[in-house]
Structure 1
Amino acid sequence: MWGIIPAAGSGTRIQPLAFSKELLPVGSRLDGGTERPRAVSEYLVDRMVKGGADKIAFVIAPGKFDILQYYGGYYSGGEVDGAALIANVAYVVQPRPGGLCDAIFRARHLVHPSEPVMIGLPDTVWFPDDALATLPDDKLSFLLFPVEQPELFDAVVTDDRGRVLEIQVKSAQATSNWIWGAFKMPGAVLHELHALWEARERRDEFMGTLINAWIGQGGEAVGVRAGTSYVDVGTVRGYRAALNLLSDGLLNGTAREAAE
């Protein structure tokens, strides 16, 4: 299974940094008995591997070679039930800024239609860390988190069976307080979404508007309310919230989110 991580953004909300925002140290981890700082993107990689991914594709901008230097071609993280979290790592370049859809579809050639793929954002920290395992492999599914300010994110409206009715992209009139933090789909659906994006002349910058169009044409998606805590680490305020989240060991309750 592939995990695609769009990491080409410039991180203007938290710059200036001397490195890519995905390598911002947040918390720490033990490495052979030695404690070392942990890059924020490692939390997502660990969660993807726990969710079943054995291959990770970073989509990076041309100048973000420090991500390649940090991860190399092989990731070995923490452990689950005594087994190491291991994945091969690949890199795809987004030549110029083009939005989230463009970044994700840059990696589509790596994904076979029969193979599941999961997608998440590298500057977030969320719990529970095994929540991706709750998403089905055979359909487009979103991992949802409750927040107090859904207008800052992409709110997901579902019916009583969990079917996605609409994604409200950073809408001041958001009618759901559940937002997506990651999603999963069969490789075939990824390719279908890319074909639709091309047919719409690549005008969708955000996945939410593209998914709405896909649903409007008869596509189906589900939302799984398995998330409990979610932090966007893309701002200084979010950085502090992530440190508090990790320090408190918060695994339940309403997510904390960082505003501009």
Structure 2
Amino acid sequence: MATDVVGLVPAAGLGSRLAPIPFSKELFPVGFEPHPQHGEPRPKPVSQYLLEHMQRAGAGQAYLILRKGKWDIPNYYGDGSQLNLPLAYLIMQRPYGCPYTLDQAYTFVRRQRVVFGFPDILFEPQDAFEQLLQRQEQTNADVVLGCFQVTHPHKWDMVETGEGGDVKTILHKPAASNLTYGWAIASWGPRFTEFMHQHLQQVEGQLHTSGKELSVGEVVQAAILNGLKVQSVYFDKGSCLDVGTPQDLQKAIHTLS
């Protein structure tokens, strides 16, 4: 494992699109895996797929940022030894969207490379994070977005790129768009971590007044406007599925069961 790569997993959501369920949505069973002791199939929680991607990419540790009360997640994963991925848990403090959840780990990850994904999005290929890290090294980009072809632009942050894979614009869940690729995973370096930390402090007052929440894609777009280099990897033969809605969760269960 590479000690300079860490995983960031936002797990502070309320799971309102699937409510009511009797546990955190990150632990919803999707598919099966062999039991480590007797080999019989056992249910596999949806967030484990993301953690396994991070472990394969060489992450030395992953941080899961929780909302108070979601203690079933650390109770299930513990220290991460079952995944061969050391896990640590932080508590979300500021309710202004996913970037603020991630910023809770700022002190711990500010000098490291980050691999990031959403715990309720399943994606392929298996080496997706490795490809992002490789592109980051090749281009010296501050951020690399993993982009997938999606059929419902209004559910995704859509990505417009130029020659060489540079990301020009990110449109946050547009009502209509001619763009066909949305981003679902990312890797980034210390420069973006620092930018996000400072940017969130600057806009927090506006969000508090308006009651709006900020998305990670909107922070990346702000980084582009401030001169940070954002690259992309297009997974034309890959797939991604947001299982945070009943319809797509049913599709995932059918596919993996």
Question: Structure 1-normalised TM-score?
Answer: 0.86
Instruction: State how far apart, in whole Å, the 2-side matches of 1:112 and 1:9 are.
Output: 23
Q: Which residue of 1 aligns with 2:256?
A: 246
The answer (yes or no) to whether the contact 1:8–1:97 under 8 Å persists in 2 is no
1:125 to 2:135 alignment: no
* Secondary structure in structure 2 of the residue aligned to 1:234: coil
Structure 1 counterpart of 2:242, one-letter code: D
Instruction: State how far apart, in whole Å, the 2-side matches of 1:157 and 1:244 are.
Output: 32
1:65 to 2:63 alignment: no
Q: Which residue of 2 aligns with 1:258?
A: none
Q: Work out the percentage of aligned pairs sharing the same amino acid.
A: 32
Instruction: State how far apart, in whole Å, the 1-side matches of 2:43 and 2:188 are.
Output: 32
Instruction: State how far apart, in whole Å, the 1-side matches of 2:53 and 2:127 are.
Output: 6
Q: Which residue of 1 aligns with 2:44?
A: 38
RMSD: 1.6
Which ranges of structure 2 fall in alignment gaps of 5 or more residues?
208-212
1:235 to 2:233 alignment: no
- Displacement of 1:61: 0.3
- Displacement of 1:210: 1.6
* Secondary structure in structure 1 of the residue aligned to 2:204: coil
Q: Of the candidates 96, 99, 106, which is equivalent to residue 98 of structure 1? A: 96
Q: Which residue of 1 aligns with 2:166?
A: 163
Q: Of the candidates 6, 9, 24, which is equivalent to residue 5 of structure 1? A: 9
Which ranges of structure 1 fall in alignment gaps of 5 or more residues?
78-85, 248-260
- Displacement of 1:187: 2.6
Q: Which residue of 1 aligns with 2:87?
A: 89
* Secondary structure in structure 2 of the residue aligned to 1:98: coil
Instruction: State how far apart, in whole Å, the 1-side matches of 2:115 and 2:181 are.
Output: 19
Instruction: State how far apart, in whole Å, the 1-side matches of 2:162 and 2:246 are.
Output: 35
Structure 1 counterpart of 2:12, one-letter code: A
Task: Label 1:172 to 1:214 Cα distance change in 2 as closer, same or farther (>3 A).
Answer: same
- Displacement of 1:218: 1.0
- Displacement of 1:96: 5.4
* Secondary structure in structure 2 of the residue aligned to 1:244: helix
Instruction: State how far apart, in whole Å, the 1-side matches of 2:147 and 2:154 are.
Output: 15
1:151 to 2:168 alignment: no
Q: Which residue of 2 aligns with 1:17?
A: 21
1:207 to 2:216 alignment: yes
User: What is the CA deviation profile of residues 70-97 of structure 1, one whole-angstrom value per residue up to 9, with x for unaligned ones?
Assistant: 11112433xxxxxxxx111000101353
**How many equivalent residue pairs?**
238
The answer (yes or no) to whether the contact 1:44–1:121 under 8 Å persists in 2 is yes
The answer (yes or no) to whether the contact 1:5–1:58 under 8 Å persists in 2 is yes
